[in-house]
Amino acid sequence: SNHMTFKAPPVYEPIPFVGGLIKFVQGPMRLMSDGYRSKGEVFTVPLAHKKMTFLLGPHVSAHFFKANDDEMSQQEVYEFNVPTFGKGVVFDVDHKVRAEQFQFFAAALKTAKLHTYVPYFVSEATEFFGKWDQQGVVELQTELSHLIILTASRTLMGREVRENMFRQVTDLYHDLDMGMLPISVMFPYLPIEAHRKRDRAREELSKIFAKVIQARKASGAQENDLLQHFIESRYRTVYNGRMTNEEEITGFLIATLFAGQHTSSITSSWTGYFMMTHKEKWMKPAIEEQKRLMREHGEELSVEVLNKMEVLHAIITEALRLFPPLIMLLRKAKTSFSVTTSKGQQYVVPKGHIIFASPAFSHRLAGVFERPDEFEPDRFQAPREEDKRRPFSFIGFGAGRHGCMGSNFAYLQIKTIWSVMLRNFDFEMVDPFPQAQYNSLVVGPGPCRVKYMRRKLKV
């Protein structure tokens, strides 16, 4: 009786019989751009027995970001993290428990807490760059990952690990990290050496943290770190209101480490490469901003001072727009839902589909950002503010219900690092501007060396 027809999204099937698989292994960016060109903002790619529906761009993204977990679920699509994060936490528990555990993360990362972490960012960065020579050539991302894992171990895992067990814990973290391969997303329990090493490392970390937690509880020491916060967290509506246990706390620390490690080191690296290739236009103003803040505040780097670094902030955001490390975000549709494209076409996406949003692809759509392939940090500043024209335009940190809880932490950390670098060194690219490695799970730049020369900034 209803003459309105509710159509399913168009199917984009690049290769008969094999479905999306070939294009997918060739690189998700290629699949998305081919699908977008032939079908538009919404299309479905059949992959084996699954249906993958892509929602590309802000017009069709609202449901993805705003829906609750009964409508758009993370559990099925992010379950591959369970062997890494561990049992009983995050994607291994039902959504009620997960919601409470996410509350622990949110509380540990809220603005008021960040004041207590920033001094560690500063001391780690100062010490790290203090060890650099008068001049030299470094592979930038290798250096920055190293620094960020030092800071992470200090602010997340705590003094005991940072001071006494750093080598041991980072080696185990390395094995965990190497055990998360693109193949692990589909087959997390595939019996391969990388997975065996991952499982051994996970067990070892449980033992180490059990000891650290017991010792800290016994000593009654109070530290300013996420470990302390997780130790003191208590469930409210589930598990009869008990406290978190050692196994869970270990899982929270690992999950936080995975959320913040590569994402931050990748973003800090792109930030540097863009400044070095836009010296007059952006590196100079960023240095001028440091000088001004040094005149006003001396050497001090506090939350207050870091929050005043607007030029650096815009540069970081623009690096993240062009090269978001998480190129695709996933959900499973538990209910069907409708989307309306920018051209007014309406589709109903059936329940059961795996839904994809893509920061990397959407950020470069013409019509969302002006000259989308150009590095123009002022697009985020007044009067342009292109990200404010439409919700879900900038999604480098995700958005809505499951938007990144660590974005302020990340900005403060990256700004501290670049502030210390800009105040103490000049930089130059040695290699050509690196390519993004779109076939990795977390996408960063390929190897790229830079030259540094120590100098003192004259204010």
**Nearest of 407, 107, 134, 44 to residue 259 by alpha carbon:** 407
* Those residues with Cβ within 8 angstroms of residue 90's Cβ, 6 or more apart along the chain or in another chain: 81, 98, 101, 251, 252, 255
Nearest residue to ligand HEM, by Cβ distance, number only: 406
- Contact pick of 43, 85, 409, 427 for ligand HEM (by CB under 6 A): 409
Stretch that binds ligand HEM, among 53-61, 119-127, 212-220, 402-410 (CB under 6 A): 402-410
Give yes or no for residue 102 binding ligand HEM (CB under 6 A). yes
Shortest Å distance, C-beta 263 to ligand HEM: 3
> Stretches 45-53, 163-171, 216-224, 395-403: which one binds ligand HEM (CB under 6 A)?
395-403
158 is an interface residue for ligand HEM by CB under 6 A: no
**Among 105, 270, 380, 418, which residue interacts with ligand HEM (rule: CB under 6 A)?**
105
Q: Number of residues in contact with ligand HEM, rule: CB under 6 A? A: 22
Interface with ligand HEM, residue 259, by CB under 6 A:
yes
Shortest Cβ 170–ligand HEM spacing (Å): 17
CB of 409 vs ligand HEM, minimal distance in Å:
5
> Residue 405 interacts with ligand HEM (CB under 6 A)?
yes
CB of 155 to ligand HEM, least distance (A): 8
Q: Which is nearer to ligand HEM, 224 or 345 (CB)?
A: 224
Q: Judged by CB under 6 A, does residue 263 bind ligand HEM?
A: yes
Site string for ligand HEM, 352-391 (x = CB under 6 A): ----------------------------------------
Which residues, 6 or more positions from 69, have their beta carbon under 8 angstroms from its beta carbon?
75, 95, 98, 99, 401
- Contact between 406 and ligand HEM by CB under 6 A: the answer reads yes
CB of 395 to ligand HEM, least distance (A): 7
Q: Annotate each residue in 265-284 with x if it binds ligand HEM (CB under 6 A) or - if it does not, as one string.
A: --x-----------------
d(CA 262, CA 266): 6
Shortest separation between residue 69's beta carbon and ligand HEM, angstroms = 10
Of residues 307 through 336, those in contact with ligand HEM by CB under 6 A are: 320, 325-326, 329
User: In terms of CB distance, is 102 or 239 closer to ligand HEM?
Assistant: 102
Task: Verify binding: residue 402, ligand HEM, rule CB under 6 A.
Answer: yes
Residue 39 or 401 having the CB closest to ligand HEM:
401
- Nearest-approach distance from CB 65 to ligand HEM, in angstroms: 7
Stretch that binds ligand HEM, among 39-47, 102-110, 209-217, 385-393 (CB under 6 A): 102-110
User: Does 29 sit near ligand HEM (CB under 6 A)?
Assistant: no
Classify strands 329-333 and 354-357 as parallel, antiparallel or unpaired.
antiparallel
**Who's near 101: CB < 8 A, 6+ residues apart?**
89, 90, 93, 248, 252
SS (H, E, C) the chain: CCCCCCECCCECCCCCCCCCHHHHHHCHHHHHHHHHHHHCCEEEEEECCEEEEEECCHHHCHHHHHCCCCCEECHHHHHHHHHHHCCCCHHHCCHHHHHHHHHHHHHHHCHHHHHHHHHHHHHHHHHHHHCCCCEEEEEHHHHHHHHHHHHHHHHHHCHHHHHHCHHHHHHHHHHHHHCCCHHHHHCCCCCCHHHHHHHHHHHHHHHHHHHHHHHHHHHCCCCCCHHHHHHCCECCCCHHHCECCHHHHHHHHHHHHHHHHHHHHHHHHHHHHHHHHCHHHHHHHHHHHHHHHHHHHCCCCCHHHHHCCHHHHHHHHHHHHHCCCCCCEEEEECCCEEEECCCCCEEEECCCCEEEECHHHHCCCECCECCCCCCCHHHHCCCCCHHHCCCCCCCECECHHHCCCCHHHHHHHHHHHHHHHHHHEEEEECCCCCCECCCCCCCCECCCEEEEEECCCCC
Q: Does 90 bind ligand HEM (CB under 6 A)?
A: no
Q: Which stretch binds ligand HEM (CB under 6 A): 128-136, 262-270, 371-379, 380-388?
A: 262-270
Least distance (Å) from ligand HEM to the CB of residue 74? 6
Does the protein bind ligand HEM through residue 19 (CB under 6 A)? no
Q: Does residue 91 bind ligand HEM (CB under 6 A)? A: no
With binding defined as CB under 6 A, does residue 66 bind ligand HEM?
Answer: no
Binding region for ligand HEM (CB under 6 A): 102, 105, 109, 256, 259-260, 263-264, 267, 320, 325-326, 329, 396-398, 402, 404-406, 409-410
